[in-house]
Amino acid sequence: MRLIFLGPPGAGKGTQAQVLGERFGIVQISTGDLLRRHRAEGTELGKAAEGYMQRGELVPDELIIAMIERELDALGGRGFVMDGFPRTVAQAEALDASLARKGWALDRVILFRVPDDELVRRLSARWVNPRTGRVYNTITNPPRTAGIDDEDGGPLVQREDDRPETVARRLRVYAEQTLPVVEYYRARGLLTELDATRSVGEVTHELLHALRQERAAQ
Catalytic residue check, 87: yes
Binds 21, which of ligand AMP, ligand ADP, none (CB < 5 to 8 A, cut-off by type)?
Answer: none
Binding piece for ligand AMP, criterion CB under 6 A, among 28-36, 134-142, 145-153, 206-214: 28-36
Nearest to 87 by CA among 156, 173, 197: 173
Catalytic residue check, 163: no
**Quick one: 28 or 67, whose CB is closer to ligand ADP?**
28
Contact 149, 134 (CB under 8 A): yes
Binding piece for ligand AMP, criterion CB under 6 A, among 18-26, 31-39, 146-154, 179-187: 31-39
Question: Which of 39, 87, 108, 134 is the binder for ligand AMP (CB under 6 A)?
Answer: 87
Q: How far is CA 95 from the centre of its chain?
A: 15
By the rule CB under 6 A, 56 interacts with ligand AMP: yes
Binds 53, which of ligand ADP, ligand AMP, none (CB < 5 to 8 A, cut-off by type)?
Answer: ligand AMP
Exposure of 213 by Cβ count < 10 A (0-12 exposed, 13-18 middle, 19+ buried)?
A: exposed
Question: Which of 39, 87, 122, 170 is the binder for ligand ADP (CB under 6 A)?
Answer: 122
68-87 footprint of ligand ADP as x/- string (CB under 6 A): ---------------x----
Cα–Cα distances (Å) from 182 to 70, 135, 189, in that order, read 24, 24, 11
**Quick one: 89 or 200, whose CB is closer to ligand ADP?**
200
By the rule CB under 6 A, 39 interacts with ligand ADP: no
Question: Which of 199, 209, 212, 213 is the binder for ligand ADP (CB under 6 A)?
Answer: 199
Which residues of the chain form contacts with ligand AMP (CB under 6 A)?
A: 9, 31-32, 35, 52-53, 56-59, 64, 84-87, 91, 161, 170
Just list the catalytic residues. 13, 87, 126, 159, 170
